[in-house]
């Protein structure tokens, strides 16, 4: 394989498993990854674990936009995470990782490395 080691793609579910405007959590090589589907078929993936509480819940937050940023609000303390970068808007030290995610046919693929 010539792809970089961080680009190991895993198929986690089909697109219809994610209701538009919501997220799900996937278990990929022991990582909890939140995958969001915005209106249309836009997909984003970040860590599912909320650094402030240590609970695995970010996929259950509400998604939307604040200015130019696409965000999810943690369901526990309502702090916002940038869906593209995982940056926490209110407390940068609570930022999380983001992951590449794409659609292959009907299959949602995420790259965890």
Partner 1 sequence: MKILLIGHGMVGHKFLEELAQLRQPGTEVTVLCEEPRAAYDRVHLSEFFAGKSADDLSLVAPGFFEDSGFTLRLNTRAVAIDRRARTVTTAGGEVLPYDKLVIATGSVPFVPPVQGNDRADCFVYRTIEDLEAMTAAGARSRSGVVVGGGLLGLECAKALRDLGLETHVVEFAPRLMAVQVDDDGGRILRGKIEELGVRVHTGRNTLEITDGARARHRMVFADGSHLEADMIVFSAGIRPQDILARQNALAVGARGGIAVDDQCRSSDPDIYAIGECAAWRDQLFGLVAPGYDMARVAARHITGQTEVAFGGADMSTKLKLMGVDVASIGDAQGRTPDSRSFRYMDECKRIYKKIVVSADGKQLLGAVLVGNADEYGTLLQMALNRIALPADPEFLILPASDGKAKPGLGVDALPDSAQICSCNNVSKGELCAAVAGGATTLGALKACTKAGATCGGCVPLVTQVMKAEMARLGMAVNNHLCEHFPYSRQELFHLIKVGGIKSFGELIARHGKGLGCDICKPTAASIFASCWNEFVLKQELASLQDSNDYFLGNIQKDGTYSVVPRMPGGEVTPDGLIAVGQVAKKYGLYTKVTGGARVDMFGARLEQLPAIWEELIAAGFESGHAYGKSLRTVKSCVGSTWCRYGVGDSVGLAVELENRYKGLRAPHKIKFGVSGCTRECAEAQGKDVGVIATEKGWNLYVCGNGGMKPRHAELLASDLDKETLVRLIDRFLMFYVRTADRLQRTSTWRDNLEGGLDYLKNVVVQDSLGLAAELEAQMAHVVATYQCEWKTAVTSPEVRKRFRTFVNDGRPDARIVFVEERGQIRPARAEERPAAMADSTTEMAV
Q: Where do contacts with partner 1 occur on this chain (CB under 8 A)?
A: 12-13, 17-22, 24-28, 32, 35, 38-39, 49, 53-57, 60-67, 70-71, 73, 75-76, 78, 80
- What strands lie across the sheet with 98-99, from one edge to the other? 22-28, 31-37, 43-47, 98-99
Nearer to partner 1, 24 or 86 (CB): 24
Closer residue to partner 1, CB minimum distance, 12 or 111: 12
Q: How far is 15 from 105, CA to CA, in rounded Å?
A: 9
Alpha carbon distance 72, 37 (integer Å): 11
Nearest of 66, 68, 24, 67 to residue 79 by alpha carbon = 66
Q: Supply the minimum distance, in Å, between the C-beta of residue 2 and partner 1.
A: 27
Least distance from partner 1 to the Cβ atom of residue 71, Å: 7
What minimum distance in Å lies between the beta carbon of 101 and partner 1? 13
């Amino acid at each position: 394989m010539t792809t970089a080691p961080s680009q190991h793609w895993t198929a986690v579910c089909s697109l219809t498993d994610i209701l538009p405007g919501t997220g799900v959590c996937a278990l990929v090589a022991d990582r909890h990854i939140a995958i969001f589907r915005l209106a249309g078929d836009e997909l984003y993936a970040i860590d599912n674990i909320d650094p402030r509480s240590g609970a695995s819940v970010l996929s259950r937050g509400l998604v939307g936009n604040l200015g130019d940023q696409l965000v999810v609000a943690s369901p526990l303390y309502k702090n916002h995470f940038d869906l593209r970068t995982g940056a926490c808007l209110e407390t940068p030290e609570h930022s999380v990782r983001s992951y590449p995610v794409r659609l292959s046919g009907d299959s949602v693929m995420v790259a965890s490395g």
